Amino acid sequence: MLETTWFLLWGVLWAVYFVLDGFDLGMGTLMPFLAKDEFDKRTIYNAGGPFWDGNEVWLISAGGVTFAAFPLAYATMFSGLYSALFLLLFALIIRGVSYEFRGKVESAGWRSLWDACHVAGSFLPALLLGVAFANLFYGLPLDEQHVNQGGLLDLLNPYGLLGGVLFVSMFCLHGALWLAIRATGDMQTRAAAMAGKLWVATLVLVLAFLAYSFVHTQLFGNYMKSPHLFLILAAAVAGLLASRMYLAAGKYWKAWAGSAVFILCVALFGVVGLFPAILISTLNPAWSLTIANASSSELTLKIMLGVALVFVPIVILYQAWVYKAFSGPIKGEGEMEY
């Protein structure tokens, strides 16, 4: 029971991270396409500036839960996928530094350098997260000792790349909607128009991803056994449709909420489809890591559950305050910090 609880919490933590940091990554990726001048660039930085570091607390939490609740899976994942995860962390560090360093020197060249770092540090994590999770859903070449026999290039298979492009598209849609909330004037209009185009791209990609998953993975196995689980996919569809409907009506907060539900349910779709496996072996299903053979002791899981029940609500309350205090429209230079 505890293993199942922590598996679901593990999935929820990753899903929440995708929702919250997804719009930051999306806005950074879209900067070359939406920002026409310095004011536009600063608008994008300030639209995400008060939130990005708090959002990444969920990434740390998801990684921490993987380490503490499923240490064998953590060891396999972070050794076998070392190169990809190193690139991901390096890109996230560069993006974080760009927020602070960009305004330190009054030089166009200096700002352009950090703008490029910000774009790369936003695009690469979105792509790599999608590639990584698609490969988790598909399976990895784990041997009997749970050692990944593949390398970085093996992750760049058609299904992995499709997952990466889907994540980039989802996050860019999410980011464009957030920018429509926080920006004003022409920037808001351009962000909303971009969101409309990205909605179509995301719809096509998610349908392709689901079709590929149905044919080439076992993700739908749990859904066929328990049809009520299709409510997760129904909620994802409802969120995506709601985002389009509210975007057309100019209700950007509700459109962003619909996008958030969509991203959350897409992530949970994959996690629920994996259960009870955490890492699937494509060499031999018996060599897969599951919640039964990869979890920590019952005592460890109990202690962690107590810690989570205390600290997770604190994090949620703090972030709720930050979003309430800083999520209003950016109306001028006087409201910009970055």
3-state SS, 64-119, equals HHHHHHCHHHHHHHHHHCHHHHHHHHHHHHHHHHHHHHCCCCCCHHHHHHHHHHHH
Q: Which residues pair with 281 in a beta bridge?
A: 140
Q: What's the pLDDT at 334?
A: 59
The amino acid at 9: L
Sequence spans of domains, the chain: 2-335
Average pLDDT, rounded, for the chain: 90
Sorted by sequence, the CB contacts under 8 Å of residue 59 that are 6+ apart come out as 17, 21, 92
- Interval 36-64 mean pLDDT: 88
Q: What's the pLDDT at 314?
A: 87
Q: What's the pLDDT at 111?
A: 92
- Interval 188-210 mean pLDDT: 96
Backbone dihedral region for residue 140 (phi beyond 0: left; psi -120 to 50: alpha; all else: beta): beta
Q: What's the pLDDT at 182?
A: 93
Residue 89 to residue 99: CA distance in whole angstroms = 16
Q: Which residues pair with 140 in a beta bridge?
A: 281
User: Residue 142: is its pLDDT beyond 80?
Assistant: yes
Exposed/middle/buried for 72, CB within 10 Å: 0-12, 13-18, 19+? middle
Q: Is the peptide bond before 71 cis (omega within 30 degrees of 0)?
A: no
Q: What's the pLDDT at 176?
A: 97
User: Residue 338: is its pLDDT beyond 80?
Assistant: no
Q: What's the pLDDT at 224?
A: 93
User: Residue 271: is its pLDDT beyond 90?
Assistant: yes
Tokens 């602070």 correspond to what residue?
100
User: Residue 335: is its pLDDT beyond 80?
Assistant: no
What pTM did the predictor assign?
A: 0.93
User: Residue 333: is its pLDDT beyond 70?
Assistant: no
Q: What's the pLDDT at 94?
A: 94
- Interval 71-80 mean pLDDT: 84
Q: Are 266 and 233 in contact (CB under 8 A)?
A: no
- Interval 221-248 mean pLDDT: 95
Instruction: Please tell me what DSSP assigns to residue 289.
Output: E
Share of the chain above pLDDT 90, in %: 56
Q: What's the pLDDT at 324?
A: 85
